[in-house]
Amino acid sequence: MTTEGFELEQAIHGPQVAFEVDDLLIPISVNGAARSRMADFLLALSEIGSQVWLIGKAPTPETAGLFSRQGWSRFAVCDGVDLPEELTPLLTVLPVQLLADFLATARETNADSFRKDQEAYDNAGSRFQI
């Protein structure tokens, strides 16, 4: 199992072509200018058929309707409160980080190891500075 994190525009302009029906995507919806792009992204994912767990508000009434689909869920973050765009990521990214840590622990892996416990990946990682 692989987990990747992408900024919205980055996901739209590349990795989207690698998303599969069996993938679970967890986009984070924030207030502000990115709402229309998030709507585009969610509509694109609905065409691909991937599962989606949206954190935050559905950006448009059209995308809100997508969450009646099987495999699509929305998790509220301060519904009914108009948060400043700058504050929203802080309240949404932390739960995703905790979820990643929980899943890594359940699989008895270290999400921050960069696979250095495996010789090939340790050798590969020694080729560059992180």
Read off the pLDDT of each residue in 46-60 and give the average, rounded to a whole number.
Answer: 93
- If one counts the domains in the chain, the total is 1
pLDDT at 128: 85
Asked whether residue 2 is domain-assigned, the answer is no
Read off the pLDDT of each residue in 27-46 and give the average, rounded to a whole number.
Answer: 90
**Helix, strand, coil percentages in the chain from 3-state DSSP, rounded to 5:** 45, 10, 45
Asked whether residue 1 is domain-assigned, the answer is no
Q: What is the pLDDT of residues 12-33, one digit of tens each?
A: 887 788 888 999 999 988 877 8
Most confident of 9-13, 37-41, 125-129: 37-41
In the numeric block, which tokens belong to residue 102? 């929980």
Asked whether residue 3 is domain-assigned, the answer is no
Residue 78 has pLDDT above 80, yes or no: no
Asked whether residue 34 is domain-assigned, the answer is yes
Q: What is the pLDDT of residues 58-68, one digit of tens each?
A: 999 999 999 99
DSSP, collapsed to helix, strand or coil, labels residue 31 as: coil
Q: What is the CATH number of the domain that holds 117?
A: 3.40.50
Asked whether residue 99 is domain-assigned, the answer is yes
In the numeric block, which tokens belong to residue 50? 């991937």
Name the residue range of residue 83's domain. 8-125
In the numeric block, which tokens belong to residue 71? 């495999």
In the numeric block, which tokens belong to residue 123? 């050798």
Q: What's the start-to-end Cα distance of the chain, in Å?
A: 22
